Structure 1
Amino acid sequence: MSGRRVVVTGIGGELGSRVGALLEEQTWVGEIVGIDANPPRRRLRRTVVHVVEPQQHELIAERIVQANPHVIIHLGVWEPDARLSSAEAQSFTEHFATAVFDAATRVSALESVVLRSGIEVYGKHGHSPHSPNEHQPLEPQSLFGNMLLGLEHKVSELAISRGTAATLLRLAPVVGPHVPSPLGRMLRLPAVPFNPLGSARFSVIEDGDAAQAFVSAAQHQPHGAINVVADGSLSVMQAASLGNRISIPTIGPGWWAAKSLAKLAGAPVPEHVV
């Protein structure tokens, strides 16, 4: 298998740029087309990048159909309160997905779609100390979880109608030096609030490992959901200690006050983080 054409949406983000850079090193990859509202954060030498706003439905669809990819890697997902507010993140994600998946129905060469999803689709089970497995019930309890589950449904419908492979990569919270992360910002506060009655432990995935998972999925085209989670888990108290921060157990009205103060400090805490 060589000369495979790949479209990467969301290539302007840190994860998308890493995926693009890795794809350029693969001998099985031919033409690469990237689409995003922002240019890549890394220099990509053989990727054709189109900077398009998520609301430009027809232009996005045109670029994808013209590329006629064998594989679409859809990373055009905005996490609430990472770079955009919750409302903006939801709107951008929905607009982008509509354009991409409408175009995908008209791509004659399409064999596989790889979706950036997340363990938030499991709800509170997604932060189990034992790590979620792919057979747990999907019970999202946050805006981000519901956004991701909606994308999974769109990809699954496309796979059924087209007979293509659909890989749903359910990522743990992605961390890295340049990754915009509500969780990371919260853990960098001088005093880190946490709800002792909520999710006591969490898992993460490093951005480089997450990028490699997308490239592997694009090459091997597995069908179904795959959790992408680093080994082990830790508590908010442990994470705060590692960062030389103070952890403050907060419940009831105090928890809402702590979230408001964190937002004022530039570290909003969306519901999927806690």
Structure 2
Amino acid sequence: MPLYRISIGTPGEASHPDALKAAVAEFFSMLIFVFAGQGSGMAFNKLTYNGSPTPSGLISAALAHAFALIVAVSVGANISGGHVNPAVTFGAFVGGNITFIRAIVYWIAQLLGSVVACWLLKLATGGLETSAFALSSGVTAGNALVFEIVMTFGLVYTVYATAVDPRRGNLGTIAPIAIGFIVGANILVGGAFDGASMNPAVAFGPAVVSWTWTNHWVYWAGPMIGATFAALVYDNVFIVDSTHEQLPVTDY
């Protein structure tokens, strides 16, 4: 990947009206996504009186996250690109589609959106626990790291194929659906092992509100590594310099 496409940006970019509007869009998209995703898990626990996880619960979580992410990406696409994930933002930076300064602005908004969503859930449910992501019995941090790398690779690879590739054509219209579906599918695979985060912000909000940080690093390292691999692979193998164009922020 040519290094000239990676851009740090300028300090003034962080306070530019367009960047601030994009940050607000990321904040609300993340709030929508986490409120529905984390809330579905809390609702299941309430209905089962905090019973053991079941296949139906896993399916419910996958559907809730898939549907919520389709909406969250769609409503933010025209303003911020609808990243709704610090790993997706980092993947966009690695591919030269967003500056590092703007990525930091997005990360702050995404993390705040997740924290606020979890606080609102705790308030609305009368203080029910917003459970932090955790490893299942018999799953090591190394196992979870591999899960997060592979699952996030699939997610960011899908983002590149449907939303970033300049040859995407009409495929871009279904990008939010494809992105939501791959997240839902990955939850069906990894949900029983490490919760299937694929998103540092999704793990960060519950960790802050419950103040539980055990193995939290896995939910940052895995997605960031997976996103980097996906961006490098897709950009170097499938997007050639002759057809690659710097994309506007609304297209990631």
Sort the TM-score into its range (normalised by shorter chain).
0.3 to 0.5
More strand by share: 1
User: 1 or 2 for the larger relative contact order (CA 8 Å, sep ≥6)?
Assistant: 2
More helix by share: 2
Of structures 1 and 2, the larger Rg is shown by: 1
Q: TM-score when scaled to structure 1?
A: 0.32
Q: TM-score when scaled to structure 2?
A: 0.34
